[in-house]
Amino acid sequence: MKKTQIFLCVAALCLLGKPAAQAQAVVSAPVLEGTNFIQTGLQATLKALNTTANKLVNNGVVEQVLTKGFTEKNMLLAKNWYDGLMQVSNTIKTYRRVQHIFERQTAIITIYSNYIGKFKRDPNLTPVQVQGMVRGYTVLIQESASYLDDLTAIVSPLKSKMTDAERMELIDALDDKVTHQYDLVSYFTRRNMALSAQQSKAKREMQLIKELYGLAN
């Protein structure tokens, strides 16, 4: 994670990939007996991610391919989760920190989708700076998506020898990781906004000086 934070400070690489063709992700999940809050929370997460992916592609954001991949990974998790959910204990089925993991994952993508287009249109930012922002978000989102594999493993029936306490301990640790990732994305976004504000202020001050001394623009 420290490596990620260092990377965010120097990220200035080129944009990733080519524009992706518009894709409509179909969100579905098996229906459980007695729908519980985890099913409801996961369905809400998937729908939010699907909406975000389609919003980005409709706006012509080339990095939609990144969001689409994240959405598909969440849907794969849903399938794996529900395939094994009925075989784990009721304690794990209703553990609320699992829902919190889904909510944080959705929040990460939502922040990205809400701001990446604004940064790309911001006249106060240079193309190189915007490219660095894209690269930074890419690293953070890919790391966040990788945590979903851990959740699948934790709830898998293949881990049947684990006790509820052991599963919950691993889920707690995973939730902490995803929350930290969310904090990083939030910090990275605030830093990008601060950079824009700083450079906007510098432009205004330079213009005032030119007007004061009658210098040519």
Question: So where are the chain's domains?
Answer: 32-213
Which has more pLDDT, 36 or 102? Answer: 102
CA 188 to chain CA centroid, nearest Å:
12
Which pLDDT value is given to residue 70?
Answer: 75
- More confident of the two residues 122 and 21: 122
- 3-state SS, one letter per residue, for the chain: CHHHHHHHHHCCCCCCCCCCCCCCCCCCCCCCCCCCHHHHHHHHHHHHHHHHHHHHHHCCCCCHHHHHHHHHHHHHHHHHHHHHHCCCCHHHHCCHHHHHHHHHHHHHHHHHHHHHHHHHHCCCCCHHHHHHHHHHHHHHHHHHHHHHHHHHHHHCHHHCCCCHHHHHHHHHHHHHHHHHHHHHHHHHHHHHHHHHHHHHHHHHHHHHHHHHHCCCC
Distance CA 131, CA 6 (A): 16
pLDDT of 18? 33
CB–CB of 20/65 below 8 Å?
A: yes
Query: pLDDT at residue 75 above 80?
Result: no
Q: Could you tell me the CA-to-CA distances from 199 to 91, 129, 185, 186, 204 in Å, in that order?
A: 52, 12, 21, 20, 9
The mean pLDDT of the chain is: 74
Q: Of residues 155 and 206, which shows the higher confidence score?
A: 206
In this predicted structure, the answer to whether residue 147 has a pLDDT above a threshold of 70 is: yes
CA distance 67 to 103: 15
Instruction: Answer yes or no: pTM beyond 0.75.
Output: no
Question: Is residue 161's pLDDT more than 70?
Answer: yes
